[in-house]
Amino acid sequence: MKLEPFIQKTEQVLMVPSWSQISDQLIVGFTTKNGGVSKEEFQSLNLGLHVNDENNSVVVNRKKLADFLRFPPELWVCSEQTHKNKIAKVTTDERGTGVFTYEDSIKDTDGLYTTEKNILLTLCFADCVPLYFFAPTKQIIGIAHAGWKGTVQDIAGEMVRAWACEGVKPDEIQVVIGPAIDKCCYIVDDYVMNFVKDLDRVNSKSYEKISNNQYRLDLKEVNYQLMTRAGIPPENIQVSSYCTSCENQLFFSHRRDAGKTGRMMSFIGFKED
């Protein structure tokens, strides 16, 4: 039985204590849907600016999170996520992008990494799989958004390859696969499954056929297999067992809430010494 990497710290936030033990300046976690000010389907800690919630409510929610993390919003980076596999290296010059208005988000980018401190990398989620990357030897951190589209485009492997250009070997990379819709609640059809089955060296442990044109798909497992394929040792990979659809008191779920819902935020950043 593997340990759950995320521990709920407050009404609003789950954190990853095993990584904080490696470096106490490393801030890494995932939000819940609770403890914010948004109303109706966004009740209450909606952190996505792009889902037709009141902009001001989202900004208040983001400031609440910033206060708890003691990581001011001016130091955050937010991107426009488009279910592709583009990864951007960000620097202190990009800080503040997409934090208060969606229009100035980093465009068309589903993965972020940095080698610098005092930057909080953030992405928004409501079922898709958050992937967290950390190479303690090089003090490099990253985050990626892997729904089924990003997963079959191997955004996990893209991050490993981007880091290879930074001189980071796959066996130096620690990974956490975060809360996401799990196989208990994620049914897909042949259209999606054909992309999954086309992935080299991804095996049937990640899915189960339940009827004609219906499969249970384990996107966390697919990402796990893609990471090991990219050379990350299995012992470096921690997987959350939280299902965003099952845990309806804790999380928004795009599928469970039929598309009308808010967004959680995954985040990782180093504070300055």
- Which residue ranges make up the site for Zn ion (CB under 5 A)? 182, 184-185, 243, 245-246
Cβ closest to Zn ion, residue 181 vs residue 265: 181
- Taking the complex as a whole, how short is the minimal distance between the CB of residue 183 and Zn ion, in angstroms? 8
Helix (H, G, I), strand (E, B) or coil at 109: coil
- Taking the complex as a whole, how short is the minimal distance between the CB of residue 226 and Zn ion, in angstroms? 21
Cβ closest to Zn ion, residue 175 vs residue 243: 243
Backbone phi and psi for residue 161, each to the nearest 5 degrees, phi listed first:
-70, -35
- Taking the complex as a whole, how short is the minimal distance between the CB of residue 217 and Zn ion, in angstroms? 12
Spatial separation of the C-alpha atoms in residues 264 and 250, rounded to whole Å: 10
- Taking the complex as a whole, how short is the minimal distance between the CB of residue 246 and Zn ion, in angstroms? 3
Cβ closest to Zn ion, residue 59 vs residue 246: 246
Cβ closest to Zn ion, residue 182 vs residue 218: 182
Spatial separation of the C-alpha atoms in residues 54 and 38, rounded to whole Å: 8
Cβ closest to Zn ion, residue 117 vs residue 216: 216
Q: Which residues contact 139 (CB under 8 A, 6 or more apart)?
A: 115, 117, 270
Tell me whether the omega of the peptide bond preceding residue 245 falls within 30 degrees of 0, making it cis. Answer: no
Spatial separation of the C-alpha atoms in residues 116 and 164, rounded to whole Å: 17
Q: Which residues contact 235 (CB under 8 A, 6 or more apart)?
A: none
- Taking the complex as a whole, how short is the minimal distance between the CB of residue 247 and Zn ion, in angstroms? 8
Q: Are 89 and 143 in contact (CB under 8 A)?
A: no
